Amino acid sequence: MIGPKPHISEQPITIRNWHRHVDWFNTTFIIIVPLCGCIAAIFTPLRWPTVIWAVLYYFWTGLGVTAGYHRLWSHRTYEAGLSLRIFLACAGSGAVEGSIRWWSIKHRAHHRWTDTEKDPYNTRQGLLHSHLLWMILKPNPKNNARTDISDLNADPVVMWQHRNYTKLAIGFGLVLPTVMAGVGWGDWKGGLVIAGILRMFLFQQATFCVNSLAHWLGDQPFDDRNSPRDHILTALVTFGEGYHNFHHEFPSDYRNGIEWWQYDPTKWAIWICARFRLASNLKRFRTNEIEMGRVQQLQKRLDHRAASLGR
Ligand SMILES: [Zn+2]
Ligand SMILES: [Zn+2]
């Protein structure tokens, strides 16, 4: 008896079928376009106004992902009014990392099923898988995790951005940075290549590092049962998202860096929005609860050390 044909992800990759394994939509935006941009950059003279614009736009679109996609929509760490939600949805589209809805579904599954087969960027499948391959190769639908997204489906901004994602990604990811540099100081090519494609490519890679490197590199002051780690390097390139051990332990806290000296511009941006009444109900775990988590982890380490000396 012949059973149902196995899904492509269950078939070995061969010369004949490799193109069917590839998710071409993701591959276009995170591999092919960035690769073309890197080649074009060699032939694009650098102009200072374009470089400054690219850095500013990196922050703008990046905050769309960190303050919007991640801390607002994936974790509901605060509430945002309509104007801020529209701003974050448009800014986040410019980072070209998928729609809010798609991104948040994957991210909620990652938190719920960390380091298991149902974790879309499961660290145990290797650094390259958690960094890139999970988006490049079609996943096995058997591993699809169930997550509650009724709140996302009920948010008209999320649904509008999801339906119009391709147009918004091209508009805010490529067209806006090009037009700004072209109309502003006549650098159309630099606008497209530097402020558009290279800026998008660098922030994509920085965010992907939170899925890969932040589960490999750094300290585990709160919990060492799973892979997430705190590291200043991943925090620096992603506006504070690198304090990942804390974040996995306290995901509904609007902060990732809890100390005043930790680099967490996303937290500062949300706090400033709250001062201007654009955001409200910023959630924080109580300091003694957080300290208790730190002390328990320290105690666990001490117990292990004592046990090893007693042998
Ligand atoms: Zn993680
Ligand atoms: Zn998260």
Q: How far is the CA of 102 from the centre of ligand 2 (A)?
A: 14
Please state which of the ranges 28-37, 70-79, 129-138, 291-300 shows the lowest mean pLDDT: 291-300
Reference 72, options 270, 207, 215; nearest CA is: 270
Please state which of the ranges 83-87, 265-269, 292-296 shows the lowest mean pLDDT: 292-296
pLDDT band at residue 2 using 50, 70 and 90 as cut-offs: low
Q: How far is the CA of 14 from the centre of ligand 2 (A)?
A: 35
Q: Do 49 and 185 form a contact (C-beta atoms < 8 A)?
A: yes
Q: Residue 10 falls within a domain, yes or no?
A: no
Q: Residue 286 falls within a domain, yes or no?
A: yes
The yes-or-no verdict on residue 311 having pLDDT over 80 is no
Q: Residue 4 falls within a domain, yes or no?
A: no
Q: Residue 5 falls within a domain, yes or no?
A: no
Query: How many domains does the chain fold into?
Result: 1
- Alpha-carbon gap, residue 21 to 12, rounded angstroms: 9
The yes-or-no verdict on residue 16 having pLDDT over 90 is no
Q: Residue 6 falls within a domain, yes or no?
A: no
- Alpha-carbon gap, residue 35 to 39, rounded angstroms: 6
Residues near ligand 1 ion, CB 5 Å cutoff: 228
Q: How far is the CA of 98 from the centre of ligand 2 (A)?
A: 16
Q: How far is the CA of 248 from the centre of ligand 1 (A)?
A: 6
The yes-or-no verdict on residue 1 having pLDDT over 60 is no
pLDDT band at residue 142 using 50, 70 and 90 as cut-offs: confident
Q: How far is the CA of 196 from the centre of ligand 1 (A)?
A: 27
The yes-or-no verdict on residue 37 having pLDDT over 90 is yes
- Which residues have C-beta within 8 Å of that of residue 39, sequence separation ≥ 6? none
pLDDT tens column, 219-253 = 899 988 889 999 999 999 889 999 999 999 999 99
pLDDT band at residue 3 using 50, 70 and 90 as cut-offs: low
- Alpha-carbon gap, residue 195 to 70, rounded angstroms: 23
Q: What domain range is 43 assigned to?
A: 19-310
The yes-or-no verdict on residue 4 having pLDDT over 90 is no
Token couple for 214 = 């932040």
Work out the percent of the chain whose per-residue pLDDT is above 70. Answer: 99
**103 alpha carbon, closest ligand:** 2
Question: Averaged over 161-178, what is the pLDDT?
Answer: 98
pLDDT band at residue 90 using 50, 70 and 90 as cut-offs: very high
Q: Residue 268 falls within a domain, yes or no?
A: yes
Q: How far is the CA of 256 from the centre of ligand 2 (A)?
A: 9
Q: How far is the CA of 24 from the centre of ligand 2 (A)?
A: 26
**256 alpha carbon, closest ligand:** 2
pLDDT given at position 280: 97
Q: How far is the CA of 143 from the centre of ligand 2 (A)?
A: 20
pLDDT given at position 76: 98
Using DSSP bridges, classify how beta strands 79-80 and 279-280 pair: parallel, antiparallel or unpaired.
antiparallel
Displacement of CA 128 from its chain's centroid (Å): 16
- Alpha-carbon gap, residue 255 to 135, rounded angstroms: 27
pLDDT tens column, 176-206 = 999 999 999 999 999 999 999 999 999 999 9
Q: Residue 267 falls within a domain, yes or no?
A: yes
pLDDT given at position 283: 97
- For 127: left if phi > 0, alpha if psi spans -120 to 50, otherwise beta; the answer is alpha
The yes-or-no verdict on residue 24 having pLDDT over 70 is yes
Question: Averaged over 10-34, what is the pLDDT?
Answer: 91
Q: Which residues of 71-108 are buried (b: 16+ CB within 10 A; e: fewer)?
A: bbbbbbbbebeeebbebbbbbbbbbbbbbbbebbbbbb
**107 alpha carbon, closest ligand:** 2
Average per-residue pLDDT in the chain?
93
DSSP string, 247-308: HHHSTTSS-S--STTS--HHHHHHHHHHHTTSEE------HHHHHHHHHHHHHHHHHHHHHH
Running DSSP on this structure, what letter comes out for residue 79? E
Q: Residue 275 falls within a domain, yes or no?
A: yes
pLDDT given at position 300: 87
Q: How far is the CA of 310 from the centre of ligand 1 (A)?
A: 35
Strand partners, 230: 219, 243
